[in-house]
């Protein structure tokens, strides 16, 4: 049965630290059980801050980083190494500082001079990579162990925006996204069905500007209007929030402050 958990922390720094500890614990637990964890990374301020915290934490050595598979939920379609790419930021924050296996780092494609039209090929290539690792699973997506997400104040998650073609996609695991309402306008993203293939989805977000969307998502909003409402794990969905992001939760959903 899929469970939904809500954890609230005092501020963004406390949230990043707690999320880092929780992720280290979960990866170590999976490895202790003999698994090679499949982890989907997110960008954004709090997502990268969490990776920074892991890099600085002595407990990072509890994880064999060479035995972790890294994927991404979405990517800004920019040139390789561009500082705004989620991959670049994740490498700077953590991946270049721990002993990852390069074969197990599955970055989404970059703009190598094609311009926006190249995002279509990048999406198709990433879908093939997912299918190769999926062992015949539905939609051609492996069973991710932990899939990290952020969200926008209007309710987008990954690069699936409200009322966009991507939010209506049911047959593909990865899509190119054009005309995003926030820059850069061209991206590559997992779809909501692909996100829901994960055993656990962790939505990590901060700030009062997100509070209304958080409340709506946890109160049963429609995913076409509020895509983050459709981001659910098969076994568990975790909402990791700071006080500001949790400030409009209905009373019956208010958790203790961690």
Per residue in 15-66, pLDDT (tens digit) is 999 999 999 999 999 999 999 999 999 999 999 999 999 999 999 999 999 9
Classify 184 in phi/psi space as left (phi over 0), alpha (psi -120 to 50) or beta. Answer: beta
Q: Give the pLDDT confidence score for residue 138 in this predicted structure.
A: 72
Residue 258 parent element (H or E): none
Q: Give the pLDDT confidence score for residue 258 in this predicted structure.
A: 62
pLDDT at 253 over 80: no
Helices (H), ranges, 33-176: 45-56, 86-93, 118-132
- Residue for token digits 């599955």? 106
Rounded to an integer, the average pLDDT of 116-132 is 97
User: Is residue 251 very low, low, confident or very high in pLDDT (cuts 50, 70, 90)?
Assistant: confident
For residues 208 and 243, give the distance between their C-alpha atoms in angstroms, rounded to a whole number: 8
For residues 27 and 104, give the distance between their C-alpha atoms in angstroms, rounded to a whole number: 15
Tokens coding 16:
């990043």
pTM above 0.85, yes or no: yes
Lowest mean pLDDT among 28-37, 83-92, 110-119, 132-141: 132-141
Q: Give the pLDDT confidence score for residue 256 in this predicted structure.
A: 61
User: Between the CA of residue 43 and those of 91, 129, 234, what are the distances in Å?
Assistant: 11, 20, 22
**Average predicted confidence (pLDDT) for the chain:** 95
Helices (H), ranges, 33-74: 45-56
pLDDT at 1 over 60: no
Lowest mean pLDDT among 57-71, 90-104, 127-141, 222-236: 127-141
User: Is residue 254 very low, low, confident or very high in pLDDT (cuts 50, 70, 90)?
Assistant: low
Helices (H), ranges, the chain: 12-32, 45-56, 86-93, 118-132, 192-195, 211-218
User: Is residue 185 very low, low, confident or very high in pLDDT (cuts 50, 70, 90)?
Assistant: very high
Rounded to an integer, the average pLDDT of 120-129 is 98
> Are residues 200 and 238 in contact, defined by beta-carbon separation less than 8 angstroms?
yes
Contacts of 77 (CB under 8 A, 6+ apart): 109, 110, 111, 116, 118, 119, 122, 176, 184, 186, 187, 188
**What residues does 7 pair with on adjacent strands?**
240
Rounded to an integer, the average pLDDT of 107-133 is 97
How is residue 118 annotated by DSSP? H
- Relative to beta strand 187-190, strand 174-177 is antiparallel
pLDDT at 162 over 80: yes
How is residue 46 annotated by DSSP? H
> Are residues 81 and 50 in contact, defined by beta-carbon separation less than 8 angstroms?
no
């Amino acid at each position: 049965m899929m469970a939904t958990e809500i954890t609230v922390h005092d501020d963004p720094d406390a949230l990043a630290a707690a999320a880092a500890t929780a992720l280290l614990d979960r990866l170590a637990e999976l490895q202790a059980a003999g698994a090679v964890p499949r982890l989907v990374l997110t960008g954004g301020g709090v997502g990268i801050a969490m990776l920074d915290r892991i890099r600085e934490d002595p407990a990072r050595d509890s994880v064999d980083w060479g035995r972790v598979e890294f994927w991404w939920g979405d990517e800004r379609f920019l040139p390789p190494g561009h500082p705004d790419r989620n991959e670049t930021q994740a490498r700077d924050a953590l991946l270049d500082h721990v002993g990852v296996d390069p074969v197990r780092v599955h970055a989404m494609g970059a703009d190598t001079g094609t311009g926006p039209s190249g995002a279509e090929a990048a999406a198709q290539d990433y879908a093939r990579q997912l299918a190769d690792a999926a062992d015949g699973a539905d939609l051609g997506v492996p069973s991710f162990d932990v899939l990290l997400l952020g969200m926008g104040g209007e309710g987008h998650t990954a690069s699936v925006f409200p009322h966009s073609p991507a939010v209506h996609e049911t047959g593909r695991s990865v899509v190119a996204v054009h005309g995003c309402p926030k820059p850069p306008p061209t991206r590559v993203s997992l779809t909501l069905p692909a996100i829901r293939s994960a055993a656990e989805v962790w939505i990590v977000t901060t700030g009062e500007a997100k509070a209304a969307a958080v409340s709506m998502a946890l109160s049963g909003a429609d995913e076409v209007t509020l895509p983050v409402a459709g981001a659910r794990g098969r076994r568990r969905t975790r909402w990791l929030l700071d006080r500001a992001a949790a400030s409009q939760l209905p009373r019956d959903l208010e958790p203790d402050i961690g």
